[in-house]
Structure 1
Amino acid sequence: MMAFDLDLFVIGGGSGGVRAARMAAQTGAKVALAEESRLGGTCVIRGCVPKKLMVFASQFSEVHETALRYGWTFGEGAFDWPSFRAHLHSELDRLEGVYGRMLDGSGVKVHAARAVLEDPHTVRLSTGETVTAAHILIATGGRPNRPEMPCAEMGMVSDDVFLMEELPKSILIVGGGYIACEMACILNGLGVEVTQIYRGAQILRGFDEEARGLVAESIRQRGVDLHTGTDIALMGAPDEDFDMPAGEMLVARKVAPARGPVKVKTTMGVEKVYDAVLFATGRDPNSRGLGLEEIGVELSRGGYVPVDEYSQTKVPSVFAIGDVTGRPALTPVAIRDAMCFVETVFHGRPTPVDHRMIPSAIFTQPEYGAVGLTEEQARAQEPVDVYATTFRPMRSAFAGRPERVLMKLIVSQATRRVLGCHIVAPEAGEMIQLAAVAIRMGATKEDFDRTVAVHPTMAEEIVTLRAPVRRG
């Protein structure tokens, strides 16, 4: 049997890669990890963590108005982006250090380098070093997609938001997914004039129709100028003449500034200059240039790494987890993938990845939490009863604010099991996590009915829904 330098080499230092490396090392395996950027990956450095901190910051903008209705009087506040940005990056540096110490404490050797596969057991580092391993795990995640169009380099992608030196006064956000909607709410809450455009008929494609409709309504109520059914037709420098002949326009675009004010013309014919443009038009897997195809791992059409239920590729020694596989692009999914990989390979207990009933939260204002099937998915599968209510919560009603919330259960008529739960409300992410436990265990509508309500709360509505609003 061939002797290898390592038992496991992990390419990628995000949440999934770090968890796999640490857990494998704790079994006594000899493990190393390569990360060409920063430990923590998208979630800690460029995604979930900084985004959620920005969500918290953006929510304070309405405190003054609400507090007045509750009897408080104090002076108007102002948001200081440079101060917040400095504190934010200090926190990200701290978390990156935590990841490094966890790996070091587990005995994992970390290479601050890019790694490429030379063969099924050999990795070549950008430092010039080569390392062999019995198993190689690809955990390289994904990156924001920048559309292929003239002057697209003038726009930002989500990674750039956290690096802005100053807040723009106005911004155009292109996209209708959860990142676009979250950023629209965040920047609007921080005082930026936000316009959001999406080429589809409604934002948050793939989520429950009723819930996404309420989120869209709430976004507009809070001041985001949201337009669906439209996209960017042209973009360029503020003084660009979109009516000039195409050839001349392309010449002008070659000297357009990389960043700064951008003039945009939409497919609806609207022209406007914005201080910034943010493309939130999807994400691509970080799979190219890793040497995968050269060793026999053929990538999918979208660039994802095909794996089986045990995260193994067609090359037996090479595995892949997380966003790079095309599985649900959620940090807890990557971590669960990592745990199943370690159970399978290093504990000898084959553990398939189970992606059923994954709860998720979209941190718009208000938040949207979901688990299980949408109403549309459930109806296509079997006859269902839909229990739902929308109302103004006590906190908002007392303050004279218009925001409404949604509590919704989709129930199988045959088994009475709850097939899906959708909540649009402040702190919906916190609520859906707890609801997901019951639904994952197979709770029926009657189980919910037998649960005593906690009063007065928004969440009590989820156990007091008595009659279906729709059937069939």
Structure 2
Amino acid sequence: MSTFDYDLFVIGGGSGGVRAARIASSDHGAKVAMAEEFRMGGTCVIRGCVPKKLMVFAAGHGAAIDEAAAYGWQVEKGRFDWRAFRTRLDGELRRLESIYTRNAEAAGVTIFHQRATVADPHTVRLADGRLITTRHILVATGGTPFVPEPYADLGAMTSNEIFLMDRLPGSMLVLGGGFIACEMAGILQGLGVAVTLMYRGTQILRGFDSDLQGHVAAALMQQGLNLEVNTDLTALERLPDGRFRASDTQGRVREFDTVLFATGRRPNVDGLGLAEAGVNLGDGGAVIVDDYSQTNIPSIFAVGDVTDRIQLTPVAIREGHAFADTVFGGTPIKPDHTMVASAVFTRPEAGTVGLTEEQARAEGPVEIYMASFNPMQTSFIKAETKALMKLVVCAKTRKVLGCHIVAPGAGELIQLAGVILKMGATKDDFDRTMAVHPTMTEELVLLRKPTRTA
């Protein structure tokens, strides 16, 4: 008979933690408990992927109305009703939250709707003071937005608060150049906000393929967004009327209705008791784990953004499932972190999988196949937004090392490309494939001569 209250205690009710708890309980018969201090569903469901994508849809309808008019439809475009959207969004998030709760409870998981911290390698402490013993602890607390000093106490927004606005501002300064900054800037501009996106680096979307970066930047500016790179804040102050005055490295002083910091996320480990329990933490507090998501303390594991491996929801889910199968199913499984596809939900979307051109060139000679063109849908009405199709190919083996797409629906397209590259497809496999005409992605199988070699 077990001497512990539970076989597994999961701290964090997001995607990775819920998947691990459900599989451990329903598939492997473990006695499982979970604690979530905020809302079940975590960052993705409550303040990340889901509400963001719904806002992307909302923002896209404005451009679609303009496009419809150009095609000949008689339409009248009014103002976007944020309050109506926000009411519907809140209802949808409550529905999803209840589904996450029901599914976990149906799998036999006991849920404590309060904060839990690590008391020792086999004990967690609930906010109400109760101590619960457990054979294994899984930390799945995700990440939290980072606001640099000295701006943390000014009341500026982060991605956590963007969905909670009572009304849309007239103007907004977005700070950052990653995918969250670019997505939010594009969304808000599409909803009618005058947006300035300020980034201290030379180009947005650091770490992405350089051609993809350039195409997304051009699209954002074409849509009316004010993009300022090589620029950083020198001062930010909150005015008596609630607005912000921002000074920057270009010598400008401007006022904005509100400011959004999208300057990165860090592992959500503050006050969890991990260091006190002996768990090794890395830069920024990331929980250091091995290939099986186990920390240096044998009974403590971690999955998802808190480990700062790849900050994507599907990765956290796969890690959580692999953990449950490894620890409770007797089948050791290492999550495969190679060839992970991802998307940036700007307008148009950007999708990427595999190596960037820069990464591939560092490993050996490559051939680059690329097409940049005006898609039929928008070229007909003289719109200038271009699509990008790019393949990075090993010059020796002809294996396709990377695929990068900027186009409407790129998030959907890159999922299929991810399967193809995961299987080890070569450029010859692409060449042998018949095109689907007329489509944008037919370009991927019609790229016969390399644009450049390196």
- TM, length-normalised to structure 1: 0.94
Q: State how far apart, in whole Å, the 1-side matches of 2:48 and 2:194 are.
A: 22
Contact 2:174–2:259 at 8 Å: present in 1 too? yes
Distance in 2 (CA, whole Å) between partners of 1:325 and 1:153 is 29
Distance 1:2 1:172, change over 3 A: same
Aligned-pair CA distance for 1:77? 2.6
Aligned-partner SS, 1:278: strand
8 Å contact from structure 2 (residues 366, 394) kept in 1? yes
1:418 matched to 2:408? The reply is no
CA shift, 1:2, in A, is 6.2
2:154 touches 2:237 (CA, 8 Å); kept in 1?
no
> Alignment partner of 2:404: what SS?
strand
Paired residue total: 453
Quote the residue 2:138 is aligned against. 137
Specify the alignment match of 2:43 in structure 1: 42
Which residue of structure 2 lines up, in the alignment, with residue 180 of structure 1? 181
- Give the structure 1 partner of residue 87 of structure 2: 86
Which of 315, 326, 334 is residue 297 of structure 2 equivalent to? 315
Please say if residues 151 and 235 of structure 1, whose CA atoms lie closer than 8 Å, have aligned partners that are also in contact: no
Moved over 4 A (4+): none
Equivalent residue in structure 2 for 1:329, among 292, 307, 311: 311
1:226 paired with 2:227, answer yes
Q: 2:15 — aligned with what?
A: 15
State the Cα distance separating 1:298 from its structure 2 match: 2.3
Residue ranges of structure 2 left out of the alignment (5+ in a row): none
Q: What does 1:313-462 correspond to in 2, within 5 Å?
A: 313-462=295-444
Partner letter of residue 370 of structure 1?
T
- Give 1:3's aligned amino acid: T
Q: Partner amino acid for 2:127?
A: S
Distance in 2, matches of 1:75 and 1:59, equals 16
Structure 2 counterparts to residues 161-240 of structure 1, below 5 A:
161-238=162-239
Shift of 1:74: 2.1
Find the residue that maps to 2:160 and give its secondary structure: helix
Q: How many Å separate the matches in 2 of 1:265 and 1:151?
A: 16
Return the letter of the residue paired with 2:334: P
Q: Secondary structure at the match of 1:295?
A: coil
Q: Which residue of 2 aligns with 1:241?
A: none
Structure 1 residues 122, 227: CA separation in 2 closer, same or farther (over 3 Å shift)?
same
Alpha-carbon distance in 2 for matches of 1:124, 1:312: 21
* Deviation, structure 1 residue 150: 4.5
The answer (yes or no) to whether the contact 1:146–1:152 under 8 Å persists in 2 is no
SS at match of 1:168: coil
Query: 1:152 Cα deviation (Å)?
Result: 4.8
Q: Give the equivalent residue in structure 2 for 1:103.
A: 104
Equivalent-residue separation in structure 2 for 1:151 and 1:407 (angstroms):
40
SS at structure 2 position matched to 1:199: coil
Q: Deviations over 1:110-144 (max 9, x none)?
A: 00111111111111101221111111100000111
2:251 is aligned to 269
Between the aligned residues of both structures, percent identity stands at: 57
Q: Which segments of 5 or more consecutive residues in structure 1 lack a partner in the other structure?
A: 239-255
- SS of residue matched to 1:204: coil
Paired amino acid for 2:194? E
Q: Which whole-Å CA distance do the structure 2 matches of 1:230 and 1:152 have between them?
A: 22
Alignment RMSD (CA, Å):
1.1
| 8 A contact 1:69–1:398 mirrored in 2 | no
